[in-house]
Amino acid sequence: PSNTALLVCDVQERFRPLIHKMETVINTTKFMTSVAKELNFPIVATQQYTKVFGPTVKDAFADPKDIGTLAPVFDKKLFSMMTEDCYQHLKTLNKTSYLLVGIEAHVCLQQTALDLLEEGHDVHIIADGVSSQQSYDREMALRRMESCGAYLTTAQSAAFMLMGSADHPNFKAVSKLVKDHMALKNEFNE
């Protein structure tokens, strides 16, 4: 986790009824933000045109007070998360590996992934934490990002990869997060 940051792309209220399997995206985002907090690596969020699409979904964080505090939020109109402000903030974090969750997979998330890959970073797409309005757009975006060099993984796999071993000091806490997350319905399993 020392080289890792979690990017939460545009998980906003206005999109909640529109995005394919959005409740799973929200649950997975909440799980990943909880893992990041437990393992002490940074979280950065963006909101696409907040005035129109509203704030970040509070349910995407175990503690909604973390939105804008623990996890800085950058407003944007650019599709990629790599606005000048967000990009400069990420540079200060000095990370080389990014985990991505959010929407829409074929627009903002994909452009973010491609920008990060172009910069030479490792990009890990949390497949059960990303979606689009149309499932086909999501599928094509996942294929494209993978073919360009991004790693596709699941939230649970990422959590265990970040710890590396059951000897990790936070193993019990993260295992509890995994257990709680696994009890929720994952619509992508259907």
Residue-wise over 144-179: b if at least 16 C-beta within 10 A, else e?
A: ebeeeebbebbbbebbbebbeeeebeeeeebeebbe
- Tell me the residue ranges of DSSP E strands in 10-132: 43-48, 73-76, 97-103, 122-131
Which tokens hold the place of 118?
Answer: 């172009």
Residue 142 makes CB contacts below 8 A (sequence gap 6+) with 105, 125, 127, 130, 152
DSSP 3-state of 77: coil
Which tokens hold the place of 38?
Answer: 């437990």
Sheet holding 122-131, edge to edge: 73-76, 43-48, 4-9, 97-103, 122-131, 151-153
E strand or H helix at 6, and its extent? strand 4-9
Residues with a catalytic annotation lie at 10, 76, 108
